Chains A and B, each alone.
Chain A
């Protein structure tokens, strides 16, 4: 039991899904022993990341709607106002274009703002600043003015919030040169990537997911260290496999891992890649995996046309065509604005069954 725990903690600080189950089981029985891994919600992971970066660098400040006195619309910035005061945690009026531009201007002048959008749907009111004044500035000024800003907030569908609150913006922002776009899944991803984003000298769009905020994940000691950062641009192989490669990001990683379990019962070994970074996309890892398995299924929650999956499929077809044994599969959200009714919403988003069906199709196992 101890051996399993120690081995998992040592290999790269991450937990793959299969060792996860084993260690959870081991944890329960090992509770009487000291140490062992902790669990952390994504919310706490994000909060601790922002907190640590703010205490390490006085130029980091937080601004957004309800981030201060309300403790954060989703409680991500809880406690920060009390700790750092109103000069570093700004409750802004409802002026996305205004305060995003102000954040960009502050970044031009040398500060490091962390701008929160209550949801990324609201970022559309500020998208001119994210793209034109933030992403393009380092280029337009030939390196004179860089913009060390982070735009963060929940992205994608929540539960029953309707069409105007459910869009996924990964594809939109990831198409812009000059931006870095990150999408964490687990608590460790959230901590490591947010810390890396805040320290990064370029504008970073950090896409969280509201439904993941409350989920708990085991977290290693290494990830709890205040200097823990994950590299931007590197995907993570959540589960090794040899029959089909399934790539995804954010909330869908959980669904794909469940699908992988189901596929394993039917004898299909799926390799699950958690992209973590949408721009830059880790094409090297994806292609290496496809060259190993010869089959690709890409999964995302957003709209299908011109999505992240489309880019991955194109990349794989361009670089690993002769290795493919089956057509590449794309599973994305339905090509409709998100409906409200619970059953329709369920139909509009990829579910575990859809992923399983697609993987089986790729393996020529469906009827």
Chain B
């Protein structure tokens, strides 16, 4: 969680220094949800997230260096600089993105859970992988969400739908946009348990997550978990964040999960300040690494559009264009 917080704070600094650009959505304040769920997963379990995905990627195991380089747009990034802040993919860690459209990740996560079931039942492989889909309160008014709740419950897919309800969708308050703001209630309407948990307390989130993950692994089907949480910064670094009440922000700042857990750890002698400081060094090191990394070469522009590059078609000489050795060497002519 501390890694997530330091990382996001560093992102803000780097953005204002011009090293990062485009849309950057920071996760400050919501770390308990990511840590609470993802630290219970194995490497082969999948995570699907939204544009607010830096910390989900870090929790899933993608190195801070790789994420920072990706944000700087360097070739050493987890997607070689081609994805960016909102599209963190890592096949090795089964981080299946990073989607910019809200609600887009939910069906993709449902598909990954479907594959898990298919592998077990049709391909007869030993597979009990679960998928965790993270999304926000705004997404809960989107059609795809309901379509997937239906299908996941219908086929009893091993998926956990985690709503990070931070009460705000950019400047639209959850209470202004939703007819029934209690999202956990929508689970039972589709035949799956709906749970509400305090998303500012990592230990409580972990309890609920444990149960949901075990349920999914046993083949009992999906769970909808609503985590009440809060983002301390604006929607993105371009958001002036004027609509939110200072009193509300202060209230949640007082419930900051990191201060709470730090206090708990130090009181119970489970860690000391020195060990926690080391995590900040990791982030510093990641920035140095990213700074020193090169930008992608020109030839990378045309790479990876297709897995089978014959998709670029046949060139004027009658051969497939991808067979021409000069095709991706610095030319952007298609």
Contacts and interface: CB of A to CB of B under 8 A. Distances in A.
Interface in A81-105: 87-88, 92-93, 95, 97-105
Interface string A103-116: 11111111100000
A101 B148 contact: yes
A214 to B, nearest CB: 31
B305 A106 contact: no
B171 interface: no
A104 B111 contact: yes
B314 A93 contact: no
A200 interface: yes
Nearest to A85: B122
A132 B99 contact: yes
Contacts, number: 184
Given A105-B96, A137-B89, A140-B89, A98 B121 contact: no
Interface in B72-120: 79-83, 87, 89-92, 96-101, 104, 106-116, 118
B263 to A, nearest CB: 39
Interface in A274-288: 277, 279-285, 287
Contacts of B79: 140-142, 144
A340 interface: no
B246 interface: no
A101 B107 contact: yes
Contacts of A59: 123
B295 to A, nearest CB: 14
A129 B115 contact: no
A37 interface: no
Nearest to A87: B122
Contact of A101 (B98, B144, B312): B144
A145 B121 CA distance: 24
Interface in A109-154: 109-111, 128-129, 132-133, 137-146, 148
A146 B307 CA distance: 6
A56 to B, nearest CB: 14
A353 to B, nearest CB: 33
Contact of B87 (A111, A141, A285, A319): A141
Given A98-B107, A102-B148, A144-B90, A283 B316 contact: yes
A140 B87 contact: yes
Interface in B303-318: 303-308, 310-318
Interface centre among A104, A144, A282 (most CB of B within 10 A): A144
Contacts of B114: 102, 105-106
Contacts of A232: 310-311
Contact of A141 (B97, B313, B318): B97
Contacts of A283: 313-314, 316
B307 A142 contact: no
A83 to B, nearest CB: 14
Contacts of B92: 144
Contacts of B147: 93, 95, 97-99
A56 B15 CA distance: 51
A139 B107 contact: no
Interface residues of A, number: 58
B104 A58 contact: no
B111 A137 contact: no
Interface in A209-238: 231-234
B104 A132 contact: yes
A106 B107 contact: no
A233 B313 contact: yes
Nearest to A199: B308
A280 B107 contact: no
B112 A284 contact: no
Contact of B110 (A58, A105, A140, A280): A105
B143 interface: yes
B115 A95 contact: no
A142 B82 contact: yes
A258 to B, nearest CB: 28
Contact of A142 (B144, B304, B318): B304
B313 A101 contact: no
Contacts of A177: 305
A234 B110 CA distance: 36
Nearest to B77: A142
B169 interface: no
A100 B151 CA distance: 12
Given A58-B123, A95-B150, A98-B144, A105 B107 contact: yes
A93 B311 contact: no
20 contacts: A61-B118, A97-B144, A98-B148, A99-B151, A100-B107, A101-B111, A102-B151, A105-B110, A105-B112, A107-B111, A109-B116, A132-B104, A133-B97, A138-B307, A140-B83, A140-B89, A202-B306, A202-B307, A234-B314, A285-B314
Given A99-B147, A137-B89, A148-B307, 9 more contacts: A92-B151, A97-B107, A105-B109, A109-B116, A140-B79, A142-B79, A145-B89, A145-B97, A279-B311
